[in-house]
Homo-oligomer: A and B are copies of this chain.
């Protein structure tokens, strides 16, 4: 292996490492496009920052066209459909984070997630549903995306959305 090849290999490894640390690049690689988050119509906002903590409002599985994934998991939706709803909810939180901070790369840590699943009274797999949210966060932020979490069942959510998630994020200073 000549010196040039070694250099190219090193640069390649370095590049991969840098890419691996960059949430915006990862998002691009996955082909996930973030649209401008919808503004709440009532007397509240999408996020409030206090010091290095960003508290995000609860979001649900709202599609780019403004419609939602609706229904109760365990009756109207399967676990896999609930998982996809939770994943879409994570995308919507990413939109809010970028809108607030300018770039996802300013996230230091995803701190705390409350994952609420619209489900039947006998449904027991809320964690498998909220994994859709957690998995996307870790895909985008790596270890910084690993959060403390609760995944619980709800008897009803606004507009009958399948999931609603709240999150607290720590910001790079």
Contacts and interface: CB of A to CB of B under 8 A. Distances in A.
Given A44-B147, A120-B156, A153-B157, 20 more contacts: A42-B127, A42-B131, A42-B134, A43-B137, A43-B138, A44-B113, A44-B134, A46-B148, A48-B111, A50-B52, A50-B109, A50-B111, A50-B170, A114-B150, A116-B150, A121-B155, A123-B156, A124-B160, A151-B158, A153-B155
A27 interface: no
Given A134-B42, A135-B43, A57 B149 contact: yes
A154 B149 CA distance: 17
25 contacts: A43-B135, A44-B134, A44-B147, A45-B146, A47-B148, A48-B147, A50-B53, A50-B170, A55-B168, A57-B149, A58-B151, A72-B121, A119-B155, A120-B155, A121-B155, A122-B156, A122-B160, A124-B157, A124-B158, A127-B158, A151-B158, A152-B154, A152-B158, A153-B158, A155-B156
